[in-house]
């Protein structure tokens, strides 16, 4: 079967996008507000060249429709702006803030603080999947997350960050609404059934191998962006075939999971290509090592400015959900970014 992709080129924002859309010079990315005037045509891995978005040859209508139409609302949340997902790790060994929220009371207080700061979603996890992390049994993971999910689900849209079906089930029973699986429902054969029966929205992430202890040894790609896109498209199609509707699926390129620093930057730079899968895009880059490599900042908690720069780049590239440690800072940066993008030029007023 021929594999086809359309990659948006020259993404436009704000007044430039509005003018180009109005004048028929560009098409909306995932329903807008960003727009693209050009597309790169890719067939079976071969670059067929760049054309104006309105001048594609016949036969590319399906790919163009997926790229331009607005995905269905994810988890009933607003779709007109990037959402902020606050990271809440109830673990002793997460790479940035391991141990800070191991106590349930501390985790619950931190969750409420994130909500007050403007978080749209709280992503609660009980197992670290950082590179090199040792696995945790579902029983231990459940003991960590259960009281936190139970309490915070009363006040927030809660996502459970887990690769274990048993943990997914308990969290959903306690009020969580979203499943966020770094293995894209591959780790546990029962996971798809749990998600499907609960009709829960799910985040499918790219991770080349299932064992975090080995994933950084698996960074060989022919084209990291196309390879990640192929994987995510296949996982979305598999989930759909098993009864999980595409509107309930978000996709995550998995920055830092089996990628080099350069590959992470390539994925960010070409993020709009993933919109062609037809799902909301989640990006989680907050405080990650590649930010420290670029900026020279060794301590993860001190990478807030670099994390904000990456978050804004992801939002500009079409990310619908930003998974972050620093909620207040990200919310403020997004508000300013949107205000700048939405300011009308005098002639458009």
Order of strands, sheet of 4-9, starting from the edge strand that comes earlier in the sequence: 4-9, 38-43, 46-52
Residues 141 and 171: their CA atoms lie apart, in Å, by 11
The verdict on 182 and 276 lying in the same domain is yes
pLDDT at 53 over 60: yes
pLDDT at 191 over 90: yes
For 229-277, the pLDDT digits (tens) are: 999 999 999 999 999 999 999 999 999 999 999 999 999 999 999 999 9
Collect contacts of 140-143 with beta carbons under 8 A, ≥24 apart. Answer: 141/167, 142/166, 142/167, 142/170
Q: Which one of 37, 68, 99 terminates a domain?
A: 68
The verdict on 95 and 46 lying in the same domain is no
For 302-343, the pLDDT digits (tens) are: 999 999 999 999 999 999 999 999 999 999 999 999 998 877
Q: At what angle do helices 304-316 and 261-269 cross, to 10 degrees?
A: 40
For 192, counting Cβ atoms within 10 Å of its Cβ (0-12 exposed, 13-18 middle, 19+ buried), the class is buried
Q: Which one of 18, 44, 68 terminates a domain?
A: 68
Q: Residue 348 domain-assigned?
A: no
The verdict on 230 and 269 lying in the same domain is yes
The verdict on 197 and 305 lying in the same domain is yes
Residue 349: predicted pLDDT: 41
Residue 2: predicted pLDDT: 82
For 20-40, the pLDDT digits (tens) are: 999 999 999 999 999 999 999
Name the more confident of 80 and 94.
80
The verdict on 29 and 142 lying in the same domain is no
The verdict on 151 and 253 lying in the same domain is yes
pLDDT at 4 over 80: yes
Q: Residue 144 domain-assigned?
A: yes
For 286-300, the pLDDT digits (tens) are: 999 999 999 999 999
Q: Per residue, what are the HEC states of 160-214?
A: EECCCHHHHHHHHHCCCCEEEECCCCCCCCCHHHHHHHHCCCEEEECCCCCCCCC
The verdict on 298 and 326 lying in the same domain is yes
The verdict on 18 and 130 lying in the same domain is no
**For residue 299, what are its two tokens?**
């301590």
Q: Residue 75 domain-assigned?
A: no
Q: Residue 346 domain-assigned?
A: no
Residues 131 and 213: their CA atoms lie apart, in Å, by 6
Q: How confident is the model at residue 216 (pLDDT cuts 50, 70, 90)?
A: confident
Domain with 178 in it: what CATH number? 3.20.20.20
Q: Residue 78 domain-assigned?
A: no
Active-site residues, by number, are 288, 323
The verdict on 138 and 11 lying in the same domain is no
Residue 98: predicted pLDDT: 55
Q: pTM score, two decimals?
A: 0.94
The verdict on 123 and 42 lying in the same domain is no
Q: Which one of 13, 35, 68 terminates a domain?
A: 68
Overall domain count for the chain? 2
Q: Residue 74 domain-assigned?
A: no
The verdict on 108 and 28 lying in the same domain is no
Which structural domain range is residue 133 located in?
A: 83-341
């Amino acid at each position: 079967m021929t594999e086809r992709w359309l990659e948006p080129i020259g993404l436009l924002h704000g007044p430039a996008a509005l003018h180009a859309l109005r004048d028929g010079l560009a098409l909306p990315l995932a329903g807008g507000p960003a727009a693209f005037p050009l597309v790169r045509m890719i067939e079976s891995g071969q670059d067929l060249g760049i054309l104006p978005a309105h001048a594609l040859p016949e036969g590319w209508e399906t790919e163009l429709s997926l790229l331009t139409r607005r995905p269905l609302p994810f988890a009933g949340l607003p779709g007109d702006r990037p959402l902020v997902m606050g990271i809440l790790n109830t673990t002793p060994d997460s790479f940035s803030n391991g141990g800070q929220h191991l106590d349930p009371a501390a985790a619950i207080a931190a969750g409420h603080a994130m909500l007050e700061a403007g978080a749209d979603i709280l992503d609660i996890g009980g197992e670290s999947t950082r590179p090199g992390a040792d696995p945790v049994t579902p029983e231990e993971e459940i003991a960590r997350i259960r009281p936190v999910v139970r309490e915070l689900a009363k006040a927030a849209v809660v996502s459970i960050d887990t690769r274990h079906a048993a943990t997914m089930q308990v969290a959903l029973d306690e009020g969580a609404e979203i499943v966020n699986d770094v293995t894209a429902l591959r780790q546990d054969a029962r996971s798809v059934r749990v998600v499907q029966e609960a009709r829960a929205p799910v985040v499918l992430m790219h991770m080349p191998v299932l064992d975090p202890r080995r994933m950084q040894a698996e960074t060989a790609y022919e084209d990291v962006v196309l390879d990640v896109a192929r994987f995510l498209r296949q996982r979305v199609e598999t989930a759909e075939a098993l009864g999980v509707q595409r509107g309930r699926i978000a996709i995550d390129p998995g920055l830092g999971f089996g990628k080099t620093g350069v590959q992470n930057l390539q994925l960010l730079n070409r993020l709009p290509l993933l919109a062609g899968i037809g799902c909301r895009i989640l990006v989680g880059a907050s405080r990650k090592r590649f930010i420290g490599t670029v900026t020279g900042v060794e301590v993860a908690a001190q990478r807030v400015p670099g994390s904000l720069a990456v978050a804004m780049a992801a939002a500009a590239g079409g990310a619908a959900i930003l998974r972050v440690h620093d909620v207040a800072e990200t919310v403020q940066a997004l508000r300013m970014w949107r205000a700048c993008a939405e300011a009308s030029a005098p002639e458009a007023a």
